[in-house]
Amino acid sequence: MLTIRPEQFTAFQSVAEADFEHRILEHLREHHADETVRLPEGDFTIEKLSDERMLELIRYGLKRARGYGTTWESSLTSFVVLMFVVAPNFDEQPAIKEVLKDESIEANLRIEEVWEKTSENDWNKSAEQYNREAWFF
């Protein structure tokens, strides 16, 4: 029988996480290259940001998404993409936040429920309240 020691498991986890981050990066570059990311140092399209910078932002987005209890790759990816496409602080808009914190909804399903339980006006407000500093909280 094969036994995996804790340090081996940790090594596998970090490799899997890095692979996941790169898949999100590829998705953003392929599907959202022209989106503008407003950072404290200026505005950049996704295609113009370095991989290193993009991965830094993706890691922050994953941390933020996991703060809501999200664990599925699909839900984590959706959350991070929304940070790039709408606003890094999209989840602070009250109606959106209410759904993301709703404990009656399984954490990994909340990001999908956001679409059902919020309005176009909620999303417009979220985009209007774009906080370029929110990439680094």
* Domain map (residue ranges) of the chain: 22-131
- Contacting residues for 122 by C-beta, under 8 A, at least 6 apart: 93, 95, 96
Task: Taking each helix axis as running N to C, give the angle between helix 51-66 and helix 73-85, from 0 to 180 degrees, rounded to the nearest 10.
Answer: 120
Which helix (H) or strand (E) is 6 found in, with range? helix 6-32
> How confident is the model over 30-89, as pLDDT tens digits?
999 999 999 999 999 999 999 999 999 999 999 999 999 999 999 999 999 999 999 999
> How confident is the model over 16-31, as pLDDT tens digits?
778 899 999 999 999 9
Residue 39's DSSP bridge partners are: 42
Model-wide pTM > 0.85: yes
